[in-house]
Structure 1
Amino acid sequence: MISKKAIKEVLDISLPAVGEATVYTLMSIFDTMMIGNYGGNKALSIVGLSTEILYACVNIFIGAGLCIGIASYVSRSIGAKDTKAAEEYASIGFLSGICLAITICYVLFTFSEQILFLGGARGGILVLGDIFMRITVIAIFFNMMINVISSILRSYGNTYTPFKISVLVTLIKLSLDYILIFGVITPELGILGSAIASVISQFIGFIFIFLYLIFKSKIKVRLKYILSMKMDKVKKLFGLSIPSIMEDGAFSVSRLLCTFIIMRAGTVAFAANQIANTVESISFMPGMGFGVAATTLVGIKIGEKNYKEAKEYTYACALGAVAMMSVFAVIFLLMPSFLVNLFVGEEEIKLIYIASLCLFIGAFEQPTIALSSVFAGALKGSGDTKNPFFISLATSWLIRLPLIFYFIYILKLSIIYVWWVTVIQWGIDAILMFICFERRIEKK
Structure 2
Amino acid sequence: MGKESKVLKVSLPLIAQMTVYTFMSIFDMMMMGKYAGNIAVNVLGLSNALVNIFAGVFIINGIAIGMISLISRCIGAKKYHKAALCVYNGLIVGTILALVITFIIFIFGKNILYKMGAREDILYITLNFSKINALAMFFYMICTLLNSVFIAYDHSNIPFLTAIVQFLTKIFFNWIFMFNIFKTEININSSALSSLICYVVGFIFCFLKLNEYRIQIIGLYGKLKISFKTMMEIIYLSIPSSFEDAAYGISRLICTSIIMYSGTLAFSANEIANTIESISFMPGTGFGVAATTLVGISIGKGDVKGAKKSADYCAFWALLMMCSFSLIFLFMPSLLVKFFVNKEEWKVAYLAGRCLAIGAAEQPFIAISMVFAGALKGIGDTKGPFFISLFTAWIIRLPLIYYFIYILRYNITAVWWITAIQWGIDGILMFIFFRYRIYNYKNINKK
Name the residue aligned to 1:288: 285
Name the residue aligned to 2:54: 57
- CA contact 2:284–2:322 (8 Å) conserved in 1: yes
1:201 maps onto 2:198 in alignment? yes
Please, which of 2, 6, 10 is the counterpart of residue 9 of structure 1?
A: 6
1:215 maps onto 2:207 in alignment? no
Please, which of 323, 328, 331 is the counterpart of residue 326 of structure 1?
A: 323
1:158 maps onto 2:145 in alignment? no
Deviation at 1:215, TM superposition (A): 2.3
1:272-311 → structure 2 map (5 Å cutoff): 272-311=269-308
CA distance in 2 between counterparts of 1:158 and 1:351 reads 42
1:7-46 → structure 2 map (5 Å cutoff): 7-46=4-43
1:250-261 → structure 2 map (5 Å cutoff): 250-261=247-258
CA distance in 1 between counterparts of 2:191 and 2:218 reads 34
1:57-206 → structure 2 map (5 Å cutoff): 57-183=54-180, 190-206=187-203
Query: Which stretch of the first structure deviates more once superposed, 186-195 or 130-139?
Result: 186-195
CA distance in 1 between counterparts of 2:411 and 2:172 reads 37
CA distance in 1 between counterparts of 2:171 and 2:219 reads 31
CA distance in 1 between counterparts of 2:137 and 2:440 reads 40
Name the residue aligned to 1:422: 419
Deviation at 1:220, TM superposition (A): 3.0
**Equivalent residue letter for 1:213:** L
**Equivalent residue letter for 1:245:** S
- CA contact 2:259–2:405 (8 Å) conserved in 1: yes
Please, which of 371, 390, 395 is the counterpart of residue 393 of structure 1?
A: 390
Deviation at 1:224, TM superposition (A): 5.4
**Equivalent residue letter for 2:111:** Q
CA distance in 2 between counterparts of 1:336 and 1:46 reads 24
Name the residue aligned to 1:382: 379
1:441 maps onto 2:438 in alignment? yes
- CA contact 1:38–1:182 (8 Å) conserved in 2: no
CA distance in 1 between counterparts of 2:187 and 2:66 reads 39
- CA contact 2:81–2:220 (8 Å) conserved in 1: no
- CA contact 1:180–1:189 (8 Å) conserved in 2: no
CA distance in 1 between counterparts of 2:115 and 2:149 reads 36
- CA contact 2:56–2:245 (8 Å) conserved in 1: yes
TM-score, length basis structure 1: 0.97
Deviation at 1:232, TM superposition (A): 2.2
CA distance in 1 between counterparts of 2:439 and 2:197 reads 48
- Equivalent pairs counted in the alignment come to 440
Structure 1 pair 365–225 and aligned structure 2 pair: CA distance change class (3 A): farther
**Equivalent residue letter for 2:362:** E
CA distance in 1 between counterparts of 2:330 and 2:239 reads 38
1:177-230: CA deviations, max 9, x gaps?
23212326998552111010000000000011011112224323977566x323
Structure 1 pair 184–121 and aligned structure 2 pair: CA distance change class (3 A): closer
Identity percentage over the alignment?
Answer: 48
CA distance in 2 between counterparts of 1:272 and 1:6 reads 42
RMSD: 1.5
- CA contact 2:36–2:186 (8 Å) conserved in 1: no
Deviation at 1:5, TM superposition (A): 1.1
1:263 maps onto 2:244 in alignment? no
Name the residue aligned to 2:44: 47
Deviation at 1:257, TM superposition (A): 0.6
In structure 2, the residue corresponding to 1:311 is in which secondary structure?
helix
TM-score, length basis structure 2: 0.96
- CA contact 2:273–2:353 (8 Å) conserved in 1: yes
Name the residue aligned to 1:229: 226
Deviation at 1:235, TM superposition (A): 1.7
Structure 1 pair 81–140 and aligned structure 2 pair: CA distance change class (3 A): same
Please, which of 319, 326, 338 is the counterpart of residue 341 of structure 1?
A: 338
CA distance in 2 between counterparts of 1:428 and 1:31 reads 33
CA distance in 1 between counterparts of 2:29 and 2:35 reads 10
Name the residue aligned to 2:403: 406
- CA contact 1:94–1:221 (8 Å) conserved in 2: no
Deviation at 1:293, TM superposition (A): 0.8
Gaps of 5+ in 2: 442-447
**Equivalent residue letter for 2:349:** I
In structure 2, the residue corresponding to 1:282 is in which secondary structure?
coil
- CA contact 2:139–2:203 (8 Å) conserved in 1: yes
In structure 2, the residue corresponding to 1:183 is in which secondary structure?
helix
Name the residue aligned to 2:445: none
CA distance in 2 between counterparts of 1:223 and 1:187 reads 53
Gaps of 5+ in 1: none
CA distance in 2 between counterparts of 1:336 and 1:143 reads 31
Deviation at 1:6, TM superposition (A): 1.2
